[in-house]
């Protein structure tokens, strides 16, 4: 491949800045940087531009009447002026949010977020600005890290200043992300509070479990010995991972100073490093292990991705086993089924010789949670983790009729769950409702006959409805697949298809809006909750008839209103 083709993107940028430069020469320069200096073209951009600016006489910075473009090296945002270009400053990256934006009719990948100046001191002495990244610097702009920006510019809009990171800006990582915040204060937090924090914490807790473990290095260079376990106080419990020796036994009460809280999937975990101090703590009033373990029991509604060391009681709904070929060519058996408790249902997967019968009640100790199709999946790895209970702690659950009613707000604030029912008002019918085409390879929806993964495809038609369910405080996206959508519309997919082709998609959606907008709907199905919000996948839905008299009486009673 010639330099010109290989570096076409970067060459185009240089040409913008230095129109007179020769493309072949620019290409050579990039090749030189990459081959000789091992500097990839993205990072070489600024240097190359500078070189050609000088050689083609584009820029005469010292004596021109145009705004002075000298490099301005500052420590604080407050030293910047509204028209400053070519700024050098070190900042802490607080957030980085990529987004695709139409710029002059072209789709561009940009990103925005927050940065703070004065990055080497505590956050209270920093100033925070918005920034926009026009140059795809996502690899360096990692939240938590400190970077040096060279060639950034100030943008002022509506009296508010922000920083533009341009394609020609050089971003150098000064300090890698995470762990930048120094331990704050000496007051220990409760475990419940510490679980909400990301960063350094001090806490006091009782060791519930501690087991040596190893982490296998991905590059095959060996194993790292670690200790995994769990500590608890009366507010809750949290898993820990110690990278150094941990010689406190189960039941010991300890004070941990300067541990960091990280999230493993959706579950916070305490990391104990070389800098962390652990000391024995004395408090006779602190709850003992038995008491803490008792309050530790979880139910299906509490499960979150990444949890370990779970104790839970379950009723088996169904069970099956499946044989498949492992990576090493051996055949392996995995057993799995649906399980229930009074708070809902989930899957259970066993990597051991476990064969329960439907209807049996079991107890699991030390299970873990991973996600399967957006829902929690409990996993056990050996038979010692399960025991059969002869007495169920609850009335036997009828699987045919086991729907747990959950308030929409509780759904949005909880974890992903199956077997739930909820209700709310439809406030939007989202685009993509009706007949859509799916990629035959991956089932993604095609846009203009094209799959984002597999390119142009002959799509397979499918039916889907997408609503937004809202109760005034919380909301969730609601998805109806083909079956539930057909049931709700009272038509087969073929009928719906011919209706849409005769009246048009807009009228179809408009009719749908007339039918559902501002109406209350009940939903049975499952939910998946992530940072973007909650999604409901309906097994079935029904519009609820308004009953204003009943509703009014209920609300008046609630607020003690008398007419």
Partner 1 sequence: MISNSGSRRSRQSAVRIFAQEYSESSLIERGLGEYDPSFVITKLGAKVNRCLICGGLERMERRDGDSGPFYRGQVRDPSGTHYFDVAPFQPELHPDAEELLARFETGDSILVSIVGRQKSNESEDGGIFTSIRAESFTEIDMESYKSWLVEAADATLRRLEAYAASQGAELTEESLGGAGVPSDLVSGMIKSREHYSEFDTEAYRVWILKAFSRALGRAEELPEISISNDSRPADVPPAESAESADPRDVILGIMSSSGGDLVEYEDLFSACISAGSSAEAAEDAIEHLRDVTMEISEPKFGFFSSSS
Site of interaction with partner 1 (CB under 8 A): 94-97, 99, 112-114, 130, 143-144, 160, 196-199, 425, 427-429, 468, 470-475, 477, 506, 510, 513-514, 517-520, 531-533, 545-549, 551-553, 555-556, 558-559, 561, 563
Helix, strand and coil content of the chain, in percent to the nearest 5, comes to 20, 40, 35
Nearer to partner 1, 297 or 447 (CB): 447
Nearer to partner 1, 462 or 470 (CB): 470
Beta bridge partners, 421, equal: 405, 524
Residue 548 Cβ, how far from partner 1 at the closest point, in Å? 3
Helix (H, G, I), strand (E, B) or coil at 6: helix
Nearer to partner 1, 198 or 302 (CB): 198
Nearer to partner 1, 160 or 218 (CB): 160
Residue 470 Cβ, how far from partner 1 at the closest point, in Å? 5
Nearer to partner 1, 375 or 425 (CB): 425
Q: Is the dihedral of CA 197, 202, 206, 212 positive or negative?
A: positive
Residue 67 Cβ, how far from partner 1 at the closest point, in Å? 25
The terminus-to-terminus CA distance of the chain in angstroms comes to 83
Nearer to partner 1, 313 or 416 (CB): 416
User: Cα separation of 149 and 74, whole Å?
Assistant: 11
Nearer to partner 1, 290 or 549 (CB): 549
User: Cα separation of 86 and 50, whole Å?
Assistant: 12
Nearer to partner 1, 53 or 477 (CB): 477
User: Cα separation of 152 and 90, whole Å?
Assistant: 11
Residue 374 Cβ, how far from partner 1 at the closest point, in Å? 17
User: Cα separation of 193 and 183, whole Å?
Assistant: 15
Nearer to partner 1, 35 or 546 (CB): 546
Q: Cβ distance 286 to 206 under 8 Å?
A: yes
Residue 550 Cβ, how far from partner 1 at the closest point, in Å? 9
**DSSP single-letter state for residue 349:** E
Residue 418 Cβ, how far from partner 1 at the closest point, in Å? 22
Residue 535 Cβ, how far from partner 1 at the closest point, in Å? 11
Residue 25 Cβ, how far from partner 1 at the closest point, in Å? 39
Query: How far, CA to CA in Å, does 483 sit from each of 330, 446, 489?
Result: 38, 20, 10
Nearer to partner 1, 129 or 246 (CB): 129
What is the residue whose two structure tokens read 């087991």? 211
Buried b (16+ CB within 10 A) or exposed e, 425-444: bbebbeeebbbbbbbeeeee
Residue 528 Cβ, how far from partner 1 at the closest point, in Å? 14
**DSSP single-letter state for residue 496:** H
Contacts of 557 (CB under 8 A, 6+ apart): none
User: Cα separation of 36 and 101, whole Å?
Assistant: 36
User: Cα separation of 183 and 178, whole Å?
Assistant: 13
Write out 260-285 in H/E/C secondary structure: EEEEECCEEEEEECCCCEEEECCCCC
Residue 145 Cβ, how far from partner 1 at the closest point, in Å? 12
């Amino acid at each position: 491949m010639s330099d010109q083709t290989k570096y076409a993107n970067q060459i185009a940028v240089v040409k913008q800045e230095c129109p007179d430069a020769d493309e072949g020469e620019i290409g050579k320069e990039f090749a030189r940087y990459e081959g000789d200096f091992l500097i990839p073209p993205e990072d070489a951009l600024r240097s190359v531009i500078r070189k050609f600016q000088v050689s083609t006489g584009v820029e005469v910075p010292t004596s021109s009447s145009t705004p002075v473009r000298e490099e301005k090296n500052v420590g604080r945002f407050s030293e910047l002026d509204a028209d400053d270009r070519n700024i050098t400053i070190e900042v802490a990256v607080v957030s980085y949010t990529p987004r695709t934006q139409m710029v002059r009719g072209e789709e561009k990948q940009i990103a925005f977020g927050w940065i703070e100046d004065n990055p080497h001191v505590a956050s209270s002495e920093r100033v925070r600005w918005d920034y926009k990244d026009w140059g795809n610097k996502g690899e360096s702009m990692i939240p938590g890290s400190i970077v040096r920006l060279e060639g950034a510019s100030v943008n002022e809009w509506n009296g508010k200043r922000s920083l533009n990171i341009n394609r020609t800006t050089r971003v150098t990582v000064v300090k890698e992300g995470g762990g930048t915040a120094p331990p704050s204060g000496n007051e220990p937090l409760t475990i419940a509070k510490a679980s909400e924090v990301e960063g350094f914490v001090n806490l006091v807790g009782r060791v519930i479990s501690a087991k040596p473990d190893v982490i296998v290095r991905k590059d095959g260079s060996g194993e790292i010995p670690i200790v995994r376990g769990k500590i608890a106080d009366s507010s809750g419990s949290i898993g820990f991972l110690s990278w150094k020796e941990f010689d406190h036994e189960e039941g010991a009460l300890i004070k941990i100073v300067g541990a960091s809280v990280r999230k493993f999937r959706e579950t916070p975990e305490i990391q104990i490093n070389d800098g962390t101090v652990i000391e024995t703590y004395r408090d006779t009033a602190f709850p003992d292990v038995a008491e803490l373990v008792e309050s530790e029991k979880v139910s299906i509604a509490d499960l979150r991705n990444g949890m370990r060391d779970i104790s839970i009681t379950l009723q088996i709904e169904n069970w099956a086993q499946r044989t498949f070929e492992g990576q090493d060519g051996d055949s392996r058996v995995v057993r799995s089924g649906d399980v229930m408790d009074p708070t809902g249902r989930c899957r259970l997967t066993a990597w051991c010789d476990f064969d329960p019968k439907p209807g049996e009640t079991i107890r699991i100790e030390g299970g873990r949670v991973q996600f399967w199709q957006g829902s929690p999946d409990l996993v056990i790895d050996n038979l010692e983790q399960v025991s059969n209970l002869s007495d169920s702690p609850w009335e036997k659950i009828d699987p045919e009729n086991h729907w747990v009613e959950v308030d929409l707000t509780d759904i949005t604030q909880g974890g992903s769950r199956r077997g739930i029912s909820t209700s709310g008002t439809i406030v939007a019918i989202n685009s993509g409702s009706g007949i859509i085409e799916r990629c035959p390879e991956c089932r993604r929806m095609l846009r203009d006959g094209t799959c984002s993964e597999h390119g142009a495809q002959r799509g397979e038609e499918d039916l889907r409805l997408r609503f937004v369910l809202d109760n005034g405080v919380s909301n969730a996206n609601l998805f109806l697949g083909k079956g539930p959508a057909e049931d709700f519309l009272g038509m087969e997919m073929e009928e719906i298809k011919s209706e849409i082709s005769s009246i048009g998609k807009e009228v179809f959606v408009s009719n749908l809006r007339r039918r559902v907008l501002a109406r209350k709907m009940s939903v049975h199905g499952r939910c998946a909750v992530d940072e973007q919000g909650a999604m409901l996948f309906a097994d079935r839905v029904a519009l609820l008839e308004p009953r204003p008299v009943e509703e009014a009486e209920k609300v008046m009673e609630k607020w003690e209103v008398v007419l």
